[in-house]
Chains A and B, each alone.
Chain A
C-alpha cells in the first residue's frame, strides 16, 4: 500500500470518499467550516486538505491549484487513496445574457479546451458529469432558493486568453471559438472541470461541479449602491452552500442504497 501520495501528501485514512475541489488553497478552510469537526490534514505546494464529516460521513476538501495539469494530479492521487465522488467548486464567468452575477452554475459537462485530457482520451470523447451528482446539486440549489443554471462549462488553459483575447497572437481564433461556445449554450468558463470529469469517467467515479458566476453581460456598477449590490451577490458562500446541501442529498441517497 502506498505510504503517502507524492504531491497531495495524503494517506488512505486521511480523506473521505466525498471530496470538494476548489482551485484556491486559501479557500479550503472556509469550505471546511461547513463540515462537522473539520481538521487540517496536509498542505504541500498548491494542495491543501481538510477532512470532517457531513451526516456522519467522512468528507474532505482538497485544493487543486489553477488549471487542468495540477487538477489531474490531485484527482489521480485522491482516487489512489479511495475518493470516489468529486465536486468542483469555485468562481467563473457567466456566459449567457440571462445569467445574473451571483447565480450558480450546476455544471453537467465541459468543453475540453485544454491540453491535459488529451493525455488520457481522444478529443471526441465528451467530458460529462455524473447524472446523480448533477441532480443532487440541482436539488441543493432548489432547496436553498439560489438561482441556478444547468449546462456546460468551458474548461480552458489560458486565463488571459479568455479575459484579454485581443492581445493574443491567436486572437481571431480565440474570439471565433468563444462565439461558438456561447452559441452552443455554454453557461460558464473556468479551468479545471473537464479534467475532473474525464478522469472520473476513466476510473468510474462520480463528479460534478457548482460554480459561482460573474455575469459577462451586466453593466459595470457606477454608483456605490450598485457596487455594493454586485459585491453582495458575488458571494462565494453561495456555491459552497449549494455544494454542501447537494452533497447531503447525495449522502442520504447513498446511505439508503447501501
Chain B
C-alpha cells in the first residue's frame, strides 16, 4: 500500500480513535498521554503519533490551520481506518460569561467557510456525534473543569475575526458576528465545521473541544494558553468511548448467544 499523499500514513499506522489538534507542535504533548507513543509520520503540517489507551490503538494527527487542510487530514485518516475523531484546539469565547481558561464542548458549527460546501449544500447542519459530546461532557465534569456546551463559529479568516474593521468587507463581518453571538454561539475557531460535516458524509463519530483562550468582546480578561485541560478531557473522553464500545459489543454478543 502506498502512503497517503499528504499525511504519509498507511493502514495499520493509526487507531480508530484520533485526536486532531491544529498545531503540529502540539502532537508530542498529546501523545505523551498515550501508552507507548511512537511518531510514525511527518509531512507538511501533518504530524502523526500512535500509542494506546486501555490497550486500544489511539492516534494524534495535526490538521494545520483551517478547514481546507483539516479536510485532507480527515479524508486520509478515514481512508486508513480511523472512525472516531476529537478535535482539540484553541478558540475565542463569544458569550459574556466565558472567561479565558474555560472549555468549550462543540455541539454544532456555523459553516462560515468554503470547504464543507464542496461536500454538502449550505443548508445542511454541521452536528457533533451525540455519544462523543456526552463523553466529553462527562469527562470535563469528572475532571472538574468549567465547561460551556454549544455552537462554534468555524471560519476561514483569522484576522477577519480579530480585526474585522480593517477588512474591505468590515460591515458584512461585523453584522454577521452580531448574529452569531445573538444565536448563542460559544466560541470561534477554524476547523470544526469540516470535521462535523465529514462526520455526516462518512458516518464518523466526531466531536470537538477547545480551550477558550480569550473572550473576543472582553479583551481585558487576558489570554490563557493552557491547553492541558482540553487535552486531558479529550483523553478521558476516549477512555469513556472505548468503555462504551466494549459494553455495547458485549451486549451485542450476549444478544446473539441468547
What residues of chain A have their CB less than 8 Å away from a CB belonging to chain B? 108-113, 121-128, 131, 134-135, 138, 150, 152, 177, 180-181, 183-186, 198, 201-202, 204
Distance A122 CA – B52 CA, assembled complex (angstroms) = 42
Q: Once the chains bind, are A113 and B183 in contact (CB under 8 Å)? A: no
B184 close to A126 (CB less than 8 A) = no
Known A-B contacts A131-B130, A185-B200; A112 and B179 likewise in contact (beta carbons under 8 Å): no
Within 8 A of A (CB), among B66-100: none
Whether B109 pairs with A126 at a CB distance below 8 angstroms is yes
Identify which of residues 115-131 in chain B touch chain A, using a CB-to-CB cut-off of 8 Å. 120-127, 130
Q: How far is the CB of B54 from chain A (nearest CB, A)?
A: 25
The answer to whether A152 and B125 touch (CB under 8 A), given A122-B179, A125-B110, A184-B120, is: yes
- Do A121 and B125 touch across chains, with their CB atoms under 8 A apart? no
Contact present for A112 and B125 (CB under 8 Å)? yes
Q: How many Å lie between the Cα of A184 and that of B112 in the bound state?
A: 18
A-B contact count (CB 8 A): 81
Residues of A with C-beta under 8 A to B180: 125
User: How far apart are B194's CB and chain A's nearest CB, in angstroms?
Assistant: 13
Contact across chains for B130 and A126 when beta carbons are under 8 A apart: no
Q: How far is the CA of A122 from the CA of B110 in the complex (A)?
A: 9
B8 within 8 A of A: no
Chain B residue numbers with a CB within 8 Å of A108 are 127, 130
Q: Please determine whether A184 and B200 come into contact, CB atoms closer than 8 angstroms.
A: yes
Question: In the complex the two chains form, is B120's CB within 8 Å of A131's CB?
Answer: no
Per the bound structure, the CA–CA distance linking A125 and B125 in Å amounts to: 8
Tell me the smallest distance from the CB of B136 to a CB of chain A, in Å.
11
Q: Which of A125, A131, A177 has the most CB of B within 10 A?
A: A125
What separation, in Å, do the CA atoms of A198 and B111 have in the docked complex? 15
The answer on a CB contact under 8 Å between B127 and A109 is yes
Contacts of B151 in A (CB 8 A): 125-126, 128, 201
User: A26 to nearest B CB, angstroms?
Assistant: 30
Whole-angstrom distance between the alpha carbons of A122 and B176 in the complex?
A: 7
Contacts of A185 in B (CB 8 A): 200-201, 203
Question: How many residues of chain B have a CB within 8 Å of chain A?
Answer: 31
A201–B137 alpha-carbon span in the complex (Å): 20
> Are B184 and A201 in touch, CB under 8 angstroms?
yes
B111 contacts A126, C-beta separation under 8 Å: yes
Which of B107, B124, B130, B179 has most chain A Cβ within 10 Å?
B124
The answer to whether B187 has its CB under 8 Å from any CB of chain A is no
Cβ–Cβ contact A126 & B134, under 8 A: no
Jot down 27 A-B pairs with beta carbons below 8 A, ordered by A: A111-B123, A121-B179, A121-B183, A123-B122, A125-B185, A126-B109, A126-B125, A126-B126, A126-B151, A127-B125, A128-B107, A131-B107, A131-B130, A135-B134, A138-B130, A152-B127, A180-B121, A181-B124, A184-B197, A184-B200, A184-B201, A185-B200, A198-B183, A201-B151, A201-B183, A202-B182, A202-B184
Measured CB to CB, the closest approach of chain B to A177, in angstroms, equals: 6
Q: Once the chains are docked, how many angstroms separate the CA of A19 from the CA of B94?
A: 30
Contact A180:B122 (CB < 8 A) given known A125-B179, A131-B107, A202-B182: no
* Minimal beta-carbon separation of B120 from chain A (angstroms): 5
| Chain B min CB distance to A170 (Å) | 14
Chain B contacts for A134, CB-based, 8 A: 130
The residues of B that contact A198 with a CB separation of less than 8 Å are: 183
Q: Does B242 contact A (CB under 8 A)?
A: no
Residues A126 and B127 in contact in the complex (CB < 8 Å), given A121-B179, A202-B184, A204-B184: yes
Distance between Cα atoms of A51 and B18 in the complex (Å): 48
